[in-house]
Structure 1
């Protein structure tokens, strides 16, 4: 029967002859969500428990390291770290390397996993195209954007005197702008929702309508002037006619009285 020393030497010599060392494994819970506290574990097969592999990763370097005996008699060395998840952890790569001591130096293997973390909507905003004031009757496109996982649903609201009115359940809302109004959107998924700032749809003055009104006023002025002139002329003629007839009647009466006398 081999002694412990001879056993470890055989394991080391056997390991030295391999093309590559044993790769570590990273254990991460499934269905990760923001605000969730999870334990991440990096484990490596340990052929010699008295000379375990050195484990390092891109999490905190003071992570607890321990070597455990498995039910089949083998050994595993592991390090663990507790982290509280946020949206910034989504897409984060955790890398763990195991460096094994062998005769003549060391051999290192590395494993990497990418975290997939669900989170509520972030950075929800609304945009208007075209931007700025538009002519009455123009088509305006309101677009809502948000960063979320899973992808959010979008709802558009118009602010009225009676409160917010649901006008659309699409990411892009098109409307015919006839008056000045205010809108905002809400992004929602299973983890929460977020409201955008208020967007103002403004109507600009139409120069052509002002020009038309000016022409109408000019025409009305001319018409009123003509009516005034005609009215004055009629009045003048009417005021002259009775006087002339009175004078003629007086003259005839005087002549008749003279003849009679």
Structure 2
């Protein structure tokens, strides 16, 4: 028998479904002289064949026949597309593991072989973009997106974010993809802060299904924020005798190129270019340090070293600062007793 038409069908070659849920297979077709054939035809209907594309004599290969509403092996199958509009989109319900196979669509005007799809039954982790950590400058606007496949249009996944910046704004919507399948897209916008540096943001997709438990998958990305030195302060490490070590501490990104400079108050020339300095009891003065990377620099509050002749151990006193070091920040003055919030003893 010779057929006088050219037939083609468009559908995804593979679809992913979740057990206990449904899966929609988007499907369209084209046939030469379709309008003429449709007008002459008594009926147009679609058949989904399992395992093979040919219209076999064994009915066991027929999973669905829209003309007789035959459904085999599935709880329910509905053709949601209009064949008169060249749309053969079909929804398969209550997917189970034994449904994994090759399926072929057949349009019944004339015999034909169609494309196939191979369902899978575990959801893929949501896709985050950008997928790799990228460095962003402090105060710049950052855009992240998270998408999860929505194989069942009546039970799309719910997307949620965790460990997000305080300034984050989130919008979520269901969108069609070029292959006519659907995904849920969630977009997050925020202004980068230095407190977000190395923060791991997680996107979670939760799939509802007709089973006791929902299925949950997640993806994550770590933020990398570039910023100048912050919270610069001095840590005092006393030792028995007449020596004390001052350490300049600062948060910065990048931190591997941090440069430290020490100054004596009232003297313009630096006294040292390193992270730590050692002082003796006789070096009474006010000291401060600066931390600098390629994005800027910041100075600490002063530390004052005083000589109380009768003591062999230095003393420490604290006053409130302009810059926080730990919680709130400290100006430190060396005296006998220690009280305050920031200066740490090692």
Q: Tell me the CA shift for residue 139 of structure 1.
A: 4.6
Encode CA deviations 1:124-146: one digit per residue, 9 max, x unaligned: 112344389x8xxx554321111
Change in Cα spacing, 1:206 to 1:25, as seen in structure 2 (3 Å) is: same
| 2-structure distance, mates of 1:107, 1:67 | 19
* Structure 1 residues not aligned, in runs of 5+: 208-261
Change in Cα spacing, 1:158 to 1:47, as seen in structure 2 (3 Å) is: same
* Structure 2 residues not aligned, in runs of 5+: 1-45, 48-78, 82-88, 101-119, 312-346
Aligned mate of 1:43, from 125, 132, 147: 147
Instruction: Give the match for residue 98 of structure 1.
Output: 205
| 2-structure distance, mates of 1:183, 1:166 | 10
Instruction: Give the match for residue 194 of structure 1.
Output: 298
Change in Cα spacing, 1:33 to 1:87, as seen in structure 2 (3 Å) is: same
Q: Which has the higher helix share?
A: 1
- Say whether the 8 Å CA contact 1:127–1:199 is kept in structure 2: no
Q: Tell me the CA shift for residue 100 of structure 1.
A: 2.5
1:78 aligns with 2:185: yes
TM-score with structure 2 setting the length = 0.49
Instruction: Give the match for residue 159 of structure 2.
Output: 55
Q: Secondary structure at the match of 2:122?
A: coil
| 2-structure distance, mates of 1:167, 1:16 | 77
Instruction: Give the match for residue 325 of structure 2.
Output: none
| 1-structure distance, mates of 2:80, 2:96 | 14
Aligned mate of 2:221, from 91, 95, 113: 113
Alignment RMSD, CA only?
A: 3.4
Structure 1 residues 103-252: aligned runs within 5 Å: 103-104=210-211, 106-130=214-238, 139-151=243-255, 152-160=258-266, 163-175=267-279, 178-205=282-309
How many residue pairs are counted as aligned between the two chains?
Answer: 201
| 2-structure distance, mates of 1:15, 1:50 | 22
Change in Cα spacing, 1:66 to 1:206, as seen in structure 2 (3 Å) is: closer
- Say whether the 8 Å CA contact 1:13–1:102 is kept in structure 2: no
Change in Cα spacing, 1:165 to 1:19, as seen in structure 2 (3 Å) is: same
| 2-structure distance, mates of 1:63, 1:15 | 38
